[in-house]
Amino acid sequence: MEAETRHGRWRLAAVLVAALLALSFVAYYVADDGHGQAQPEVSSLQAEVKSLQAANQALQNQLAAASTQSDQSLPGAEGLYANLSASVVTVQGYALTTQESFFGPITSLESVQGSGFVVTYDGSPYVVTNNHVVSGVTNITVTFSDGNSYPAQVKGTDPYMDLAVLQAQAPAGEFHPLEVLGSAEAVAVGEQVYAIGSPLGLAGSMTDGIVSQTGRTITESTTGVTIPDVIQFSAAINPGNSGGPLLNSEGEVVGITTAAVTDSQGLGFAIPASTIARELPSLVTTGNYTLHPYLGISSAADMTYQLAQATGSNVTYGVLVESVAPGGPAAQAGLIGGARNVTVEGTTYQIGGDVIVSVNGTKVISTDALSAWLEVNALPGQTVDLGVMSAGSAETISVQVGTLP
């Protein structure tokens, strides 16, 4: 459409030029005719020529401005990178490591590196990154895309969701904040996404892919923490990408990437932007986030057809409760764990307990789905209604959500 508009303007300019030439020729011919009575017609034609000249010049100015604007508004990934790469930083520091040797433990400082990006809260700029990038790290610095580096301090951390917020001692002109989407439905499976970061120390690298799935649960390999409600995507991610932004086609942050997942080559994972938006105020003002929900289910498994056959259940989806934490919210509400073991396809399960099939009316098909729903929708102190299959009968059990220990 834009190209058609530009072509139309060029055609109009050509018509105006042709009209100018024609009128100029007629004016010259009449003026040269030597008849005094033609003077009024000459004046009229000269006025029309001046009017067309002014219109032609205005159109030329519009075309020049449109051309300049088009050059500045690059399309697709190229435009995103040109506009947003200055918002992404490299996070560096040193961690104390101890290794065993023939002569005993040897302690040394090891360089660590990750990525981060600029956001704002209450009018002040901060850098968001992964907690595992800065946990136990000293002498932290952030390096901007222009090569300038500045010291930074940890403002707040949440190990459970692998989030950290830094405050960098940099001039205001270095900060170019990104927009972080706050809705849990901000990203959809199949959506095009882009990751910018410093994989393997290669600062300012960009990759792209699509959202493969949402609501995943992963285990962060450096800390062993289980993280719910994670985005899975197909863009290439490597060590050093951790903490960089995952962007949509509008340049909005839909997640923060993490590469600290064992055997995840070829897969990318990102903590959703809604988690960042939810936790940022607390991380900045209190240094932590303590509102993660907790049901007190110690062990659980995804129901399958094979498990249903082994337990005599006609439900092939949901969460099989294997054990509950004594005195926890689930135990207090009357949720029952398994009482006997059975081996199905080489895996041992504790069966005979309740099977959770819904929460507040939303169907639950897996432990990932239950964890993601709770993280997004529940807070400590709230009561949720669990739909369960207990000894073959459908029941509703109300549980007051606790706080993650």
Rounded-to-integer distance, Cα 6 and Cα 13, Å: 11
229 in Cβ contact with 375 (< 8 Å): yes
Given this model, what pLDDT does residue 56 score?
Answer: 64
Domain ranges of the chain: 2-73, 88-174, 192-285, 293-403
The one catalytic residue in 87, 115, 158, 162 is 162
Q: Is 115 helix (H, G, I), strand (E, B) or coil?
A: strand
User: Any residues with CB less than 8 A from the CB of 11 and at least 6 apart, and which?
Assistant: none
Number of other residues whose CB lies within 10 A of the CB of residue 46: 15
Given this model, what pLDDT does residue 310 score?
Answer: 85
User: Any residues with CB less than 8 A from the CB of 47 and at least 6 apart, and which?
Assistant: none
pLDDT in tens, 223-262: 677 899 999 999 888 888 999 999 999 999 999 998 656 6
Given this model, what pLDDT does residue 209 score?
Answer: 94
Rounded-to-integer distance, Cα 310 and Cα 268, Å: 35
321 in Cβ contact with 354 (< 8 Å): yes
**59 vs 128 pLDDT, higher one:** 128
Given this model, what pLDDT does residue 329 score?
Answer: 98
Given this model, what pLDDT does residue 53 score?
Answer: 66
Given this model, what pLDDT does residue 59 score?
Answer: 61
Side chain identity, residue 94: Y
162 is catalytic: yes
Concatenating the DSSP letter of every residue in 241-294 gives: -TT-EEE-TTS-EEEEEE---TT-TT-EEEEEHHHHHHHHHHHHHTSS----EE
- The residue-averaged pLDDT of 90-95 equals 96
Rounded-to-integer distance, Cα 334 and Cα 12, Å: 79
176 is catalytic: no
Domain 192-285: give its CATH code.
2.40.10.10
The answer, yes or no, to whether residue 99 has pLDDT greater than 50, is: yes
158 is catalytic: no
Fold of 293-403: Pdz3 Domain (2.30.42)
The one catalytic residue in 205, 242, 358, 366 is 242
Rounded-to-integer distance, Cα 161 and Cα 292, Å: 9
User: Any residues with CB less than 8 A from the CB of 392 and at least 6 apart, and which?
Assistant: 312, 313
The answer, yes or no, to whether residue 31 has pLDDT greater than 50, is: no
- The residue-averaged pLDDT of 12-38 equals 49
User: Any residues with CB less than 8 A from the CB of 199 and at least 6 apart, and which?
Assistant: 205, 236, 237, 238, 239, 240, 241, 259
Number of other residues whose CB lies within 10 A of the CB of residue 105: 8
Superfamily designation of domain 88-174: Trypsin-like serine proteases (2.40.10.10)
Given this model, what pLDDT does residue 55 score?
Answer: 67
The answer, yes or no, to whether residue 333 has pLDDT greater than 60, is: yes
Q: Is 358 helix (H, G, I), strand (E, B) or coil?
A: strand
CATH fold match for the domains 192-285 and 293-403: no
pLDDT in tens, 364-395: 999 999 999 999 999 999 999 999 999 889 99
The one catalytic residue in 132, 198, 229, 274 is 132
In angstroms, what CA-CA distances link 154 with 12, 121, 282, 283? 60, 15, 14, 10
Given this model, what pLDDT does residue 238 score?
Answer: 82
